[in-house]
Amino acid sequence: MIMDRILRVEQRWGVRISLRIILALYIVFSFAQCSRQAKEQSLLPRILLQAPNGSTIYLEIADTKLTRQYGLMYRETLAEDEGMLFVFPEQRIVSFWMKNTPIDLNIAYIDKEGIVKKTATMHAYSTKSVSSDYPVRYAIEMNKHAFDALGIRNGVQIKIPSTVVAKE
């Protein structure tokens, strides 16, 4: 049915209009797919960790290649005590960017002993890659400025349970 309409429009208005319609449909379906993925990500397993200042933080666990790839993309809000814990299969240098992420975030790169090796601020929608500079096993993303209040900075230890491991 849609193809019949496209063909009629194409016959009437030429190829340009049909290509615009196809592009518009592609954009609509792509947006719906991204929205679905963002909703699914909010169903990720969560862990409660104690921040260096004693506060409790709630982190969704991104422990597969797919969940690490999508991270906090498309999230429009994030509570001050919430974030995401990225778990890697082995300790290595990693990089993050903010493509499709509409909120500014802090990131903490953490080694296998739980020591924060580097923190950085990442800006919404930036495609600039932010490297860990050191081999790390974990990364935590939270709202910009959350780390100051929680005492998360270079050199502090965050106790991550040994049961939190990458699934792939």
47-53: long-range pairs with CB below 8 Å, 24+:
47/85, 47/161, 47/164, 49/85, 49/158, 49/159, 49/160, 50/159, 51/150, 51/151, 51/152, 51/158, 52/150, 52/151, 52/152, 52/153, 52/156, 52/157, 52/158, 53/149, 53/150, 53/151
Least confident of 32-36, 94-98, 146-150, 158-162: 32-36
Average pLDDT, the chain: 85
Per-residue pLDDT band for 43 (boundaries 50, 70, 90) equals confident
The amino acid sitting at 109 is Y
pTM across the whole model? 0.75
d(C-alpha 51, C-alpha 30), whole Å: 37
By the 10 Å C-beta count (0-12 exposed, 13-18 middle, 19+ buried), 112 is classed as: middle
Instruction: Quote the percentage of the chain above a pLDDT of 70.
Output: 75
Q: Is the pLDDT confidence value at 125 over 50? A: yes
Which carries the bigger pLDDT value, residue 138 or residue 22?
138
Task: Give the bridge partners for 165, in sequence order.
Answer: none
- Residue whose C-alpha is closest to residue 78's, from 141, 151, 166: 141
Residue 64 pLDDT level (bands cut at 50, 70, 90): very high
Write out pLDDT tens, residues 70-109: 999 999 999 999 999 999 999 999 999 999 999 999 999 9
| 5 or 154, higher pLDDT | 154
